[in-house]
Amino acid sequence: MKDVKKYIDAAMGRGEADLILNGGNVVDVFTGQVIRADVAIKDGIICGVGSYSGENEVDITNKYVMPSFVDAHIHIESSMVAPQEYARAVVPHGITTVIADPHEITNVCGEDGLNYMLAASENIPLDVKLMLPSCVPAAPFEHAGAVLDAKTTQSIADKFYGIGEMMNYPGIINADSETLGKLCSDIIDGHAPLLSGNELDAYVSAGIKTDHECANIEEMTEKISKGMSILLREGTLSKDMASLLGGVTPYTLRRCMFCSDDRFVGDIIRRGSIDHCIRKAQRLGMNEVDTIIMATLNAYETYGIKNHGAIAPSYAADIVVADDLHLNRIEKVYKDGVLVAENGWPLFEAAKVDTSKVINTVHLPEITADFFARDLPEGEFAAIELVPESVVTKKVTAKKGDRLSKVCVIERHHNLGTKGIGYVTNYNITNGAIATSIGHDSHNVIVIGDNDADMALAVNTLGKSGGIAVCSKGKVLGYLELDIAGLMSSKRARDVYSTHKQLEEAAKQLKITHTVDPFLSLAFLPLPVIPEIRITDSGLFDVLKFEFI
């Protein structure tokens, strides 16, 4: 039992508080009100909200004081920086807790990847609640770098906060024993696009209580009616806020929260993360305090993180101080009562972590243009249509003469030599190619282009480290090395952001459809659990029929 006397004494004024924030407008997430009050803090815990004075006072008159934010579902790897640099990027935006699923690096490096993420998430002022990936690989036919079966999952589950998103919903509703064997935690994240009716009932009956893949308000409402909590997502590619916010009502509010899922570090630096979600929800007409409740108390309670998410006695002093409720400027961020970010800048460094077991992960021979040689089929054939600002794709019929981009996925973990070749509409790359070792979720190499020579050059540019390469007319226009598992850079976040901007400028020369992200839309093409059609190193895959074409 902890010693509570010191908190009681500080609350009563008999003992000295370590820190007092004076004169702020406190956002009360329990009542929905904003009240003028001082906040007294002792040993990292809020012990009083009222009228206080002491030796260590910080004047925040007329500023707004609120609990720090939670990103309720992320993959740190998608930021393209290591966890330490990710923390330095997001903490100044008011985030002090993330629910992180490291299934990207696990698909590449297996338990070595998990151990790296555990080590890299320590000793930073960001609570990284690591979930144990449930789908490595994402589908049983995938050629990933590792396999995490039920036996292994059960043996290491105690190291993790819960079980990561269960994408294998067919395995759940068919009561597959191997899939069910992975449900070895009280906290299990969901991933069940378009699931409804009896199948949804079966999925929720397995103890899965969250979902971040709702396509519309009707799907969102049905899932809430089954007891699920819904994460409204604003990532770099997937932006669900506008289509789902109408489903947040006075009745459903407490079942809703925000997440970014996959968000590049450059977008975090430029626009923020959960603070961006808050601002966007407010622009779309949502009550200001309600947006704060979604970003704080709802997420903390959904994930069973006690004594967090409110400015109230006995709650952790994880606090955001901002100029207004729109978060136009976040002035200060406190973690356990310690100032860790100010005016957009982190006030902490992080120790380096050994990466020796998660580097040099691309295993491919030298690729020639002949590797991609393939005549277009006669007559009509299936192709992939990209949907702007979405990971969803459409299965369409194409023919010779259509404006098509050739795409190829190449197995890169065990040098198996397998490849799948197909065609994409609405990408429209011209005079070049782009290759990347980011190919959700098995992260095989994927390359797209309009000529085989540039496609070969782009793949070869990745080397053993991996990353993203942009090539045109026999020249490398840009390359971002992602030395950690071919997914993350060990460099500073702003250096990665700067190099990525150069890649974006290079990609513009290839006249790619402006409504399509040239890199992320490519990275999600191999993910065989998102409708409607995908491509893996085994070929085109119909997700709705769950079979190869």
The CATH number given to whatever domain includes residue 190 is: 3.20.20.140
Q: Where does a domain end: 253, 288, 303?
A: 303
Do residue 381 and residue 511 come from a single domain?
A: yes
Measure Cα distances from 508 to 233, 268, 470, 505 in Å. 27, 22, 10, 5
Average pLDDT, integer, range 89-111:
97
Q: Within this chain, do residues 193 and 297 fall inside the same structural domain, yes or no?
A: yes
Quickly state the pLDDT bin for 321 (edges 50, 70, 90): very high
Give percent of the chain with pLDDT exceeding 90: 90
Q: Is residue 466 part of a domain?
A: yes
Mean per-residue pLDDT, 459-486: 98
Mean pLDDT of 38-64: 96
Report helix, strand and coil shares of the chain as percent, to nearest 5: 30, 30, 45
Handedness of CA 13, 18, 22, 25 (dihedral sign): negative
Residues 476 and 389 in one domain: yes
Query: Which of 303, 325, 348 is at the close of a domain?
Result: 303
pLDDT tens-digit series, residues 55-70: 899 999 999 999 999 9
Specify if 335 maps to a domain: no
Alpha-carbon torsion, ordered 11, 12, 13, 16, to 10 deg: -40
Residue 1 pLDDT more than 80? no
Look at the chain and report how many structural domains it folds into: 2
Q: What percent of the chain has pLDDT over 70?
A: 100
Tell me the average pLDDT of the chain: 95
Query: Smallest Cα–Cα separation from 393: which of 213, 521, 533?
Result: 533
Residues 91, 197 within the same domain: yes
- Note whether 299 and 373 are same-domain residues: no
Specify whether the CB–CB gap between 108 and 413 falls below 8 A: yes
- Rounded Cα distance, 51 and 40, in Å: 9
Residue 462 in any domain: the answer is: yes
Instruction: Give phi and psi for 179, each to the nearest 5.
Output: -65, -45
pLDDT at res. 392: 87
Same domain (yes/no): 386, 523: yes
Residue 288 falls within a domain, yes or no?
Answer: yes
Residue 234's domain comprises 68-303
Grade residue 359 by pLDDT with cuts at 50, 70 and 90: very high
pLDDT at 363 over 70: yes
Backbone φ and ψ of 219, nearest 5°: -65, -45
Residue 61 lies in a domain: no
Show which of 252, 269, 303 is a domain's final residue. Answer: 303
Same domain, 262 and 133: yes
The predicted model gives 290-300 an average pLDDT of 98
Give the C-alpha separation, 108 to 412, whole Å.
9
SS3 162: strand
H or E segment and range at residue 506: helix 493-508
Give pLDDT tens digits for 386-444. Answer: 998 778 899 999 998 899 999 999 999 999 999 999 999 999 999 999 999 999 999 99
Do 81 and 186 lie in a common domain?
Answer: yes
Q: Are residues 106 and 220 in the same domain?
A: yes
